[in-house]
Amino acid sequence: MGKVVYVTGAPASGKSTTTGLLAAMVPGIERWEYGARLTDHLRREGIDLADQNQLRRESSKVALAGTIRELDRLLLAFVEDRRGGAHVLIDSHPVTKEDYGFRVTAFSQSDFVRLRPDEIWVLYTTPEVAVSRIRDDPGGRPAIDIETARMHTFLQASVATTYGIIAGCPVHVFDTDRDPDALVRDLAGRLER
């Protein structure tokens, strides 16, 4: 029986890398990578986006609240279609860095209850590592300083904790500043519990 796991964390926390390694280790995992799905959805809606990097740069200008709600409904259908079969990993971060500060485009309470995740995983890294990763490979993400990285991580963890309270499921917070293979083995073990 597969688990539904909502995976989140601030940019450069290692979400996509870690969930990719986990999917390679555990056969049959279904992944919903929110940023890629949002990019595709916006393109189908007629928004001219070159790639996900452009989406990251123009986040609040192109990904409006209504579009996020539409994509959340598609995610709910995706999860319901796969629930109980394969493990489903949802790679998402509803807190985005914007020109003016931060934006939170969270699930509605009723939709998150309908999502019914078995667990929520928050991945984090130190602010220094996040700043370094974004500086070395921005991928459309704005350059940040230590305090911005720290605030982003705290906001993301706060949203995840709120989600856990709403859904009545455990929230696990994983430090990604460790051996990636050991981390992925730990996560694979969580899937089997």
100-105 long-range contacts (CB < 8 A, ≥24 apart) are 102/151, 102/152, 102/155, 103/59, 103/60, 104/155, 104/159, 105/63, 105/65, 105/68
In a domain, 153, yes or no: yes
Residue 171: which pLDDT band, with cuts at 50, 70 and 90?
A: very high
d(CA 143, CA 149): 10
User: 90 pairs with which residues across the strands?
Assistant: 6, 32
d(CA 104, CA 96): 6
Q: Look at residue 56 and tell me if it is in a domain.
A: yes
The pLDDT tens digits for 25-41 are 999 999 999 888 888 88
Give domain status of residue 145, yes or no.
Answer: yes
| Residue 85 maps to a domain | yes
What backbone torsions phi and psi does residue 104 show, to the nearest 5 degrees? -115, 115
The two counts, helices (H) then strands (E), for the chain are 9, 7
C-alpha–C-alpha distance, residues 11 and 14, integer Å: 8
Instruction: For 98-141, write each residue's pLDDT tens digit.
Output: 889 999 999 999 999 999 999 999 999 999 999 999 999 998 88
Separation between Cα atoms, residue 40 and residue 74, nearest integer Å: 12
150 inside domain: yes
Q: What pLDDT does 71 receive?
A: 92
Could you tell me the CATH number of the domain that includes residue 48? 3.40.50.300
Total domain count, the chain = 1
Read off the pTM. Answer: 0.92
Can you tell me the distance from the alpha carbon of 25 to that of 10, in angstroms, rounded to the nearest whole number? 24
Instruction: Walk across the sheet containing 30-33 and list its strands.
Output: 30-33, 88-91, 4-8, 119-124, 171-175
Q: By mean pLDDT, which of 14-23, 44-53, 81-90, 135-144 is the weakest?
A: 44-53
- Whether 193 is in a domain gets the answer no
Residue 60 structural domain: 4-188
